[in-house]
Amino acid sequence: MSFPIRQVKWSLFLKLTLVFFVTAFALVLLVADFSGLLRQQRLTVHDVFRKNFAFYLNQLADQIGDPPDLARARELSARLDLGISIDGPGAHWSSSPALPSINHCEEKGRKGFENVQIWNPAPYRFYYVVHRGEESFLFSLSGAMPPAFPPSRVARLLLLIVLVLFLTYLMVSFMLNPLSPLLQGVEQVARGNLEYRIELKGQGEFGRIADSFNQMAQKVRDMLDARERLTLDVSHELRSPLTRMKLALEMIPDTKRRETMTRAVREMEMMLSEILEGQKLKNPHGGLAKTRLNLAALVRRVAADHRREKPGLKVKGPRVLWASADGERMATALRNVVENALKYSAHQKAPVRVEMGRREGWVAVTVRDHGIGIPLEEQKFVFEPFYRVDKSRARETGGYGLGLSLCRQIMEAHGGRIALESDGRAGTAVTLQLPEGGA
């Protein structure tokens, strides 16, 4: 089995692994260099103390002398900033009452080097005991110890670490930069723009993802086009048989059976008309005939056509709402929404409410019923062609599932929008919005 060399070469996982490996290696080198410096400095200080500090303390003891010269001791203490105590037959003296006793230091301390004992009771506080004949000398460093490593080196180390992390961030950001056009493409397709294509140059996983995404979008677009063509072709082919059926029904005696068949043929003819009307809205040559339309007057006219139907209609809003729209098609959209509201509220006492108004540059018509509501999980599908909440598709509970789909096509063709609200238990509100026209 051959291993795909090209795929390994452009593997995102491999790239990120290499980036973090190089980053970790660089940080290890920096920390190792820093640790080596510190260790070397500590060893150097230790060696200096071993070789020189004992000699230095003994020289101090010799300068004070035996018997001790207290004037010389005071001078050395003041000039060198040292704490000095002397204990022996020749003198019992201390430069500061805060210094511990020499016997206490010998009990607590440890053997250091040569004839020097060391006691380190706290960080940066050291006491050194030196014996010269019968005299004992205690020396204390009262100043702070010098830093174990220079601050400039620490600052440089921190700067280098920040620089390495920043360069790592830039490298990872550069490699993940193609995610931006991929995300934009996903968002465009999610909004329904199946014509969008991702233009992503280069190789690797992102390039292959972009190619696969474009192929997927094209296949979805082709499937939808094929479905629309099939629906349109079948609709055209059914018109001629329907016409012949209508003629044949005219020859049948006027009976209840003829009435049932005539109603079925009329419903099928309405379904085909809605399919063809929706297709016309997508065709640039079958566009809208827009005029300056008083939407409020159109709403009241549609409501008047249904005033006798239960549970009734109640219209509220201004008398004038201007919009640029195709009056005939807007009337179709309004009728579909109003008829749906009346159909699903027929057994309710509260009337269907139709509210009109202006909303931030839009004119809006909301049709609100008190019917059975639409389940939350079904709401995102109700504007799709042939979709019905009632899966049994019984004629008593609705049409063919084309009414709201046609409404959405009409509103989108006008540059408007349609929205549905329902809590899933009772009541549904459908809002139609158009850009507001001049008065």
CA neighbor of 213 nearest in space, from 192, 183, 237, 233:
183
Contacts of 134 (CB under 8 A, 6+ apart): 66, 88, 89, 90
Place of tokens 């504007």: 383
Report, as an integer, the average pLDDT of 40-63. 69
Share of the chain above pLDDT 90, in %: 11
Tokens representing residue 299 in the block = 């709403």
| Residue 416 pLDDT greater than 70, yes or no | yes
What pLDDT is stored for residue 8 in this prediction? 40
Cross-strand partners of 135: 132
Region 47-61 average pLDDT: 74
Note the pLDDT of residue 5. Answer: 37
Is residue 286 predicted with pLDDT exceeding 90? Answer: no
What pLDDT was estimated at residue 1?
41
Q: What is the dihedral of CA 184, 190, 196, 202, to 10 degrees?
A: 40
- Residue 25 pLDDT > 80: no
Structure token pair of residue 267: 């419903």
User: Side chain identity at 103, as an amino acid letter?
Assistant: N
Residue 277 is predicted with a pLDDT of 66
Residue type, 73: A
Across 60-64, 76-80, 268-272, least confident range:
268-272
CA dihedral (165, 168, 169, 170) positive or negative: positive
Residue 78 predicted with pLDDT over 90: no
- Amino acid identity at 69: D
Number of H helices and E strands in the chain, helices first, is: 12, 13
- Domains of the chain from N-terminus onward: 9-141 (no CATH), 205-280 (1.10.287.130), 288-435 (3.30.565.10)
* Residue 413, both tokens: 């063709």
Please name which of 342, 286, 278, 283 lies closest in space to residue 310, comparing C-alpha atoms: 342
Confidence label for 318 from pLDDT (cuts 50, 70 and 90): very high
pLDDT value, residue 4 = 43
Identify the residue whose tokens are 């360069």: 167
Residue 122 CB-half CA count within 13 A: 5
When pLDDT is averaged across residues 239-261 and rounded to a whole number, the result is 76
| Mean pLDDT, the chain, integer | 78
Strands (E), 184-250: none
Is residue 10 over pLDDT 70?
Answer: no
